[in-house]
């Protein structure tokens, strides 16, 4: 009964957040939120190898804001090459993450709103597929499944059952095989790796 009442309350609750493009003044709040929600080990993840020193894909850094404009949720997507296709051509795709919502605002639909906005924006911008590493129980509701990524690998340790993909263009990942590598723009001032 309590669960039913909770969902009825949630349904009629006023919308208390908005989804917005991230802007430079959000960076500190976003990083503080990520540290709090994901913990200090977040920078050791394989996905971080792809994000390090890169700029997110154009128009695909989103935040959720409370009524006062404070950042209470974040999601970003990154340009990658997802192995090669059947013709041996590198395949453009996006890697999503991290997605995080301030625990004090959990369960209000903010994570879902960020995901739906990100998927729609990626589709409108002509991207073919989105990959991510996360809980299938959460991401399957948005159409992400492990099957589509079965011949792809992350550039570091990852759990196969948590490596998921969504095709925005049907068949985009058909035949995709190989390693995910970053292909996005470098951050200004990022260290340049010298040739050996
Ligand atoms: C996962 C996260 C982004 C969800 O944000 P949110 O705003 O609370 O999500 P929503 O309100 O849109 O959805 C809540 C639903 O997702 C479910 N859910 C949340 N996290 C989940 C998970 N890891 N696995 C499965 N279901 C999950 C909740 O049980 C709830 O289910 P219901 O709709 O049946 O009640 C948030 O909990 C978070 O930041 N977690 C820590 C960071 C993290 O783990 N991010 C990556 C997710 S793998």
Choice among 18-32, 35-49, 146-160 with the minimum mean pLDDT: 35-49
Mutate to test the pocket of ligand 1, among 107, 117, 119 (most ligand atoms within 8 A of CB): 107
Distance CA 17, CA 109 (A): 10
| Distances from the Cα of 67 to the Cα of 40, 70, 100, 194, angstroms | 28, 7, 18, 47
- pTM, full prediction: 0.92
The CATH architecture annotation of domain 10-182 reads 3-Layer(aba) Sandwich (3.40)
Our answer on whether the CB atom of 16 is closer than 6 Å to any ligand 1 atom is: no
Distance (angstroms) between ligand 1 centre and the Cα of 195 equals 43
Section 16-30 average pLDDT: 97
Distance CA 18, CA 68 (A): 10
Is residue 163 over pLDDT 60?
Answer: yes
Residue 11's pLDDT band, with cuts at 50, 70 and 90, is low
Section 152-160 average pLDDT: 96
Distance (angstroms) between ligand 1 centre and the Cα of 103 equals 10
Q: 36: which residues sit within 8 A by CB, 6+ positions away?
A: 102, 103
Residue 194: the pLDDT is: 55
Residue 15: the pLDDT is: 72
Distance (angstroms) between ligand 1 centre and the Cα of 107 equals 7
Question: What are the structural domain ranges in the chain?
Answer: 10-182
- Looking at the DSSP bridge assignments, the partners of residue 95 are 78, 131
Distance CA 66, CA 61 (A): 17
Distance (angstroms) between ligand 1 centre and the Cα of 153 equals 25
Residue 161's pLDDT band, with cuts at 50, 70 and 90, is very high
| Distances from the Cα of 60 to the Cα of 15, 80, 120, 138, 191, angstroms | 23, 13, 10, 20, 24
Distance CA 167, CA 144 (A): 8
CA 45 to chain centre: 14
Section 104-122 average pLDDT: 98
Which residue CA neighbors atom 42 of ligand 1 most closely? 100
Choice among 10-14, 30-34, 124-128 with the minimum mean pLDDT: 10-14
Residue 196's pLDDT band, with cuts at 50, 70 and 90, is very low
DSSP three-state, residue 10: helix
Residue 6: the pLDDT is: 54
Q: What are 33-80's pLDDT values in tens digits?
A: 999 999 988 988 889 989 999 999 999 999 999 999 999 999 999 999
Under 8 Å between Cβ of 100 and 33: yes
């Amino acid at each position: 009964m309590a669960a039913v009442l909770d969902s009825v309350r949630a349904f009629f609750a006023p919308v208390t957040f908005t989804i917005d493009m991230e802007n430079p003044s959000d960076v500190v709040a976003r990083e503080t939120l990520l540290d709090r929600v994901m913990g200090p080990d977040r920078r050791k993840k394989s996905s971080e190898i792809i994000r390090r020193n890169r700029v997110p894909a154009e128009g695909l850094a989103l935040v959720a804001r409370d009524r006062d404009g404070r950042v209470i949720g974040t999601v970003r997507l990154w340009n990658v090459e997802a192995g090669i296709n059947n013709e041996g051509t590198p395949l453009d795709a996006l890697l999503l993450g991290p997605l995080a919502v301030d625990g004090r605002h959990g369960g209000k639909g903010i994570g879902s709103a960020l995901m739906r906005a990100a998927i729609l924006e990626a589709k409108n911008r002509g991207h073919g597929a989105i990959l991510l590493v996360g809980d299938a129980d959460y991401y399957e509701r948005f159409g992400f499944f492990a099957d589509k990524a079965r011949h792809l690998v992350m550039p570091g340790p990852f759990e196969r059952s948590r490596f998921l993909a969504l095709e925005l263009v049907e068949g985009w990942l058909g035949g995709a095989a190989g390693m995910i590598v970053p292909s996005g723009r470098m951050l200004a001032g990022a260290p340049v790796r010298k040739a050996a």
